[in-house]
Copies of this chain bind each other. A is one copy, B any other.
Amino acid sequence: MLGERDLDPDQYGTMPMVNKRSLAVLQECEDCPIKHRAVCARCEDDELQQLEEIKYYRKFEAGQTIIWSGDRMDFVGSVVSGIATLTQTMEDGRTQMVGLLLPSDFVGRPGRGAAAYDVVATTDLVMCCFRKAPFEDLMVKTPHIAQRLLEMTLDELDAAREWMLVLGRKTAREKIASLLSIIARRNATLHLSTTDGPLVFDLPLTREAMADYLGLTLETVSRQISALKRDGVIVLEGKRHVTIPDMSRLMDEAGDDADGGVFA
């Protein structure tokens, strides 16, 4: 699937401080790398303790499907490290990505029995899962969880609407530039770096996944990436390693205001 050797293994989320064999060490919420951003971010110590009781970790390998659309879901959870995609597929095989799940993002919908989308790990991934029924109970009793989840859902809704503009109105070149700038910015926040020097990152998606995200074909994605490279908007080393010499230039190409956030 995803050639790991191309990628910085710790680029997309602080790596759990354990090797692959000792998930057990990950049991303590205190040490959790996403504790300040996940659903549990607002919880008090006693609330965290209740969560600890219904939680467990699961690992997935790059390429593995975490959930199939239509499956019964008996858990919800947070991405701890790694990246996953949310996709919808039509009967004839056309697919559209509808979400990109990064560390701290929430998976599953309380109150719904079956999954509405396919969830696929695009890198090796660790999830912190909560059994669904007890989690729902806890949500009623613990406003902090529901509050945080509301906040996160509103953010996702904004992201989805932003994406609707990309899908509906932008050209192929603008779409690619938009995707690159989103990934670049998210990566910058994740690593607490500034956005005015040159940004460097590895693409977490194949050309095909990018196409599914952008409503394009993979050929068009490839062509537009080549074009942006030719025009010096991006620098490519290999297929995945990207340098953005001038972020505001990229934002220009994306058709966004170059002054930073769209929801400024």
- Residues of A at the B interface (CB closer than 8 Å) are 86, 88, 90-92, 94-96, 98-99, 109, 111-112, 116-117, 140, 143, 146-147, 149-151, 153-154, 156-158, 160-165, 167-169, 214-215, 255, 257, 262-263
Contacts and interface: CB of A to CB of B under 8 A. Distances in A.
9 contacts: A88-B161, A91-B255, A96-B169, A99-B161, A157-B157, A160-B164, A167-B215, A168-B215, A169-B215
A99 to B, nearest CB: 7
Q: Which of A95, A168, A169, A263 has the most CB of B within 10 A?
A: A168
A165 B214 contact: no
A160 B215 CA distance: 15
Contacts of A111: 151, 154
Contacts of A215: 167-169
A241 B143 CA distance: 46
B109 A154 contact: yes
Nearest first, the 8 A-B pairs at minimum CB distance are A168-B215, A98-B161, A167-B167, A160-B160, A96-B165, A96-B168, A94-B169, A167-B168
A158 to B, nearest CB: 6
Nearest to A158: B116
A157 B169 CA distance: 20
Contacts of A165: 88, 90, 96, 98
A70 B117 CA distance: 33
Given A96-B169, A143-B143, A154 B151 contact: no
A255 B143 contact: no
A164 B165 CA distance: 9
A214 B153 CA distance: 24
A90 B255 contact: yes
A169 B90 CA distance: 9
